[in-house]
């Protein structure tokens, strides 16, 4: 089948062949690898994390036993904001939307029995990304795994926090410094680590269009590349480890075209604007998650079908890894049963649907190529507007992104309310007596967890050498006043058993 597809490609007119290009070749419209899924499918990386490190570890090991091929860690809001579980603002949020991690002991428990030289881990963490990576590397060290063998990703995308999510800690300038410090450290010490996952997912989930998702994500990517180069890094030392994260929503052909357009645009940006010479720096490698905001509390079982179609769009678009949402996520965190069904959705797509037997199966389709060109044109116009404002950071400060997303979200909602856009089971075919509305079990987090975690972190502090910790924190404080790379100081503070809240707190005070 693949050989037939490529033979058909050879039969196209020469100009058309040149315009489309080959998979694995610049500008990568048809995919970043020559054979795409012929040798192996995408990484099945189910996003999970809730309650305590012990509970999340059990879920990870369960999913790995069921055939998941990479970890993806969700952290609770206190962790995302660099707060320990006994911080006053942590009350009611510990372990609710992800796992609570505040110390080296927590990270060891989270990863117990998981060999870090054999499993790649994606950590969805932004403002304290450098800190969580430091904890992860220390656990690898204790396992006897060389940092040069550790693979994975930290999201580490602070600009989209200002644009779409809000879990930032520091102002933009020092936040960008933490990001470029991590770039530089990993380029030298952790070469297999993807140092950022530039995220369009949250932009789309906040209400953007497909074209806005491309434009705003790539504009953020340009800002990170520029910041790293301004800090003295050569683009080809960090460019190959940049990665991206997109949403897959319900319009299958538009979503497929979106991924193709984004790949082509990034290749040109890196080669033509930033002068990257390494072809790996031109590649837009990306993870996809199906659209959480598209899931409905009405007829939750219909979400199984929504997720399957969205996953198909991601695969037709050439994703490198994929998370499929569980059908009950409009009601609560996934149960073990719904998480397994979400994983099975990917496995059925990979091993039964036949889509992995062709490279870029929709390449050359008149409609898909038209959509790809149209999305590229719209996204390019938006990026030009952002450039005229002075780039992504200036556009964030001027609220350009926020206004654009708010307008798109409002338009989308009005179309639903007026019946111009159909949501099955919500504004059409919405039977209150539908058997698909029958009770769906919901995952509940034990309300006593917050008190248990509070007691654990207080006991952790009492059992350590307080003077040693204070010395490391003061070393971090001094380094924060200079331009020195902060990663070695973060590692040292956690080695001496500082907590996440203490480390993040020192930088809060300085910045």
DSSP output for 15-32: HHHHHH--TTSTT-TT-S
pTM of the shown model: 0.93
Q: What pLDDT was estimated at residue 47?
A: 85
Q: What pLDDT was estimated at residue 49?
A: 85
Q: What pLDDT was estimated at residue 211?
A: 98
For residue 35, how far is the Cα from the chain centroid? 24
Q: Which residues of the chain have pLDDT under 70?
A: 1-13, 15-16
Closest alpha carbon to 346 in 322, 365, 320: 322
Question: Cα–Cα distance between 119 and 157 in angstroms, integer?
Answer: 23
Question: Cα–Cα distance between 408 and 207 in angstroms, integer?
Answer: 6
DSSP output for 24-78: TSTT-TT-SSSSGGGSS--EE--EE--SSHHHHHHHHHHHHHTT--SEEEEB-HH
Question: Cα–Cα distance between 281 and 170 in angstroms, integer?
Answer: 29
Q: Are 27 and 264 in contact (CB under 8 A)?
A: yes
- Residue 248 CB-half CA count within 13 A: 30
Question: Cα–Cα distance between 41 and 311 in angstroms, integer?
Answer: 13
Helices (H) and strands (E) in the chain, counts: 22, 10
Closest alpha carbon to 502 in 115, 484, 468, 4: 468
Q: What pLDDT was estimated at residue 115?
A: 94
Q: What pLDDT was estimated at residue 8?
A: 62
Q: What pLDDT was estimated at residue 436?
A: 86
Closest alpha carbon to 359 in 43, 19, 20: 20
* Domains (range + CATH), the chain: 2-31+40-437 (3.20.20.240), 469-510 (no CATH)
3-class state of residue 148 by DSSP: helix
In what side-by-side order are the strands of the sheet with 152-154?
Answer: 47-48, 71-74, 121-124, 152-154, 193-194
Question: Cα–Cα distance between 394 and 388 in angstroms, integer?
Answer: 10
Q: What pLDDT was estimated at residue 1?
A: 46
Q: What pLDDT was estimated at residue 5?
A: 55
Q: What pLDDT was estimated at residue 2?
A: 46
């Amino acid at each position: 089948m693949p050989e037939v597809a490529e033979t058909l490609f050879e039969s196209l007119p020469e100009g058309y062949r040149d315009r489309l290009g080959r998979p694995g070749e610049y500008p990568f419209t048809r995919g970043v690898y020559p054979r795409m899924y012929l040798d192996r499918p995408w990484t099945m990386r189910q996003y999970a994390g809730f309650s305590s490190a012990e509970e999340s570890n059990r879920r990870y090991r369960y999913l790995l036993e069921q055939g998941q091929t990479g970890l993806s860690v969700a952290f609770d809001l206190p962790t995302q904001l660099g707060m320990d579980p006994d911080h006053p603002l942590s009350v009611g949020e510990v372990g609710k939307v992800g796992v609570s991690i505040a110390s080296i002991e927590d990270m060891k428990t989270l990863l117990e029995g998981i060999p870090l030289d054999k499993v790649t881990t994606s950590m969805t963490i932004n403002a304290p990304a450098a800190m969580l990576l430091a904890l992860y590397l220390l656990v690898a060290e204790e396992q006897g795994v060389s940092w040069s063998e550790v693979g994975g990703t930290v999201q580490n995308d602070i600009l989209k926090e200002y644009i779409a999510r809000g879990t930032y800690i520091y102002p933009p300038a020092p936040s960008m410094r933490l990001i470029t410090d991590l770039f530089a450290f990993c380029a030298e010490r952790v070469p297999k680590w993807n140092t950022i996952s530039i995220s369009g997912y949250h932009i789309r989930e906040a209400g953007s269009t497909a074209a806005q998702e491309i434009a705003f994500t790539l504009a953020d990517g340009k800002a990170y590349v520029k910041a790293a180069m301004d800090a003295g890094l050569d683009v080809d030392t960090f460019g190959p480890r940049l990665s991206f994260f997109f949403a897959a929503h319900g319009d299958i052909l538009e979503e497929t075209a979106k991924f193709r357009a984004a790949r082509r645009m990034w290749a040109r940006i890196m080669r033509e604007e930033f002068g990257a010479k390494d072809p790996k720096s031109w590649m837009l490698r990306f993870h996809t998650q199906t659209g959480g905001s598209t899931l409905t509390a009405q007829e939750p079982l219909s979400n199984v079908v929504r997720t399957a179609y969205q996953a198909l769009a991601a695969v037709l678009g050439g994703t490198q890894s994929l998370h499929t949402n569980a059908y009950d996520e409009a009601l609560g965190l996934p149960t073990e049963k719904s998480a397994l069904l979400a994983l099975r959705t990917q496995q059925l797509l990979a091993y039964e649907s036949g889509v992995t037997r062709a490279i870029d199966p929709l390449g050359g389709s008149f409609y898909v190529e038209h959509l790809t060109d149209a999305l590229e044109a719209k996204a390019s116009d938006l990026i030009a507007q952002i450039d005229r404002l002075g780039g992504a950071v200036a556009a964030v400060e001027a609220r350009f992104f926020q206004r654009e997303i708010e307008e798109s979200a409002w338009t989308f909602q009005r179309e639903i309310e007026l019946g111009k856009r159909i949501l099955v089971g919500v504004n059409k075919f919405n039977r209150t007596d539908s058997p698909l509305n029958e009770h769906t079990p919901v995952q509940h987090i034990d309300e006593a967890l917050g008190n248990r975690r509070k007691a654990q972190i207080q006991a952790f502090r009492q059992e350590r050498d307080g003077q040693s910790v204070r010395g490391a924190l003061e070393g971090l404080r001094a380094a924060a006043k200079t331009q020195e790379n902060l990663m070695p100081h973060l590692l040292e503070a956690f080695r001496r058993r500082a907590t996440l809240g203490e480390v993040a707190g020192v930088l809060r005070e300085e910045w």
